[in-house]
Amino acid sequence: MAVLEIILVVFLVFSALMAVRFDEELISIIFLSIFSLILTALYLLHKAADVALAEAVIGAGLNTAIFMSAISQIRHGDSD
């Protein structure tokens, strides 16, 4: 159990770093979705089923859709 948790936490920190590192917003949002998915698995490991369901539905599903619809209507001006 502890080995699985350590592996998941390593992936969690990696995906958080990747979400911050890149300049393009689309890659950041995809990595944020992966972050939420790994966090769901960690919640299930810690025996919190309700929180895991909420995180899967909201973090990996709804947040991604809202962020996508936000970045698709943002116009980058001439000063690029």
Partner 1 sequence: MFTNLVFIILFMIGFYALVMKTNLIKNVIGLNLMEAAVFFWVISFSDIGGEVAIHKMGEEMTKFNDPVPQALTLTGIVIGASTAALLLTLIIELNKFSGTIDREKIEGLND
Partner 2 sequence: MEIPTETQPEVESLNKLMKKTLISVVLAGVAFALYQNFSLMPGYEGLNVGLSNYIIESGLKDTGSLNLITAVLYDYRAFDSLGESTVIFGAVSGIVLILSRKMLPVSSKGLSFIVKRTLGIMTPFIALFGLYVITHGHLTPGGGFQGGVILAAISIIFSIVYGSAFDYRRYSPQTKTALETGGALTFLGLGLAGIFMEGAFLHNLGFLTAETGTLISAGSIPYINIGVGFKVGAGLAIIFYSMIQKTFEEDF
State both tokens at 36.
Answer: 């939420």
Query: How far does Cα 14 stand from its chain's mean position?
Result: 11
Least distance (Å) between residue 11 CB and partner 2: 22
Per CB under 8 A, does 27 bind partner 1?
Answer: no
Give the separation between CA 62 and CA 67, rounded to whole angstroms.
Answer: 9
H runs (alpha helix) in the chain: 2-21, 25-45, 49-54, 63-71
Least distance (Å) between residue 51 CB and partner 1: 5
| Binding interface with partner 1 (CB under 8 A) | 9, 12-13, 16-17, 19-20, 23, 25, 28-29, 32, 35-36, 39, 42-43, 46-51, 54-55, 58-59, 62-63, 66-67, 70-71, 73-79
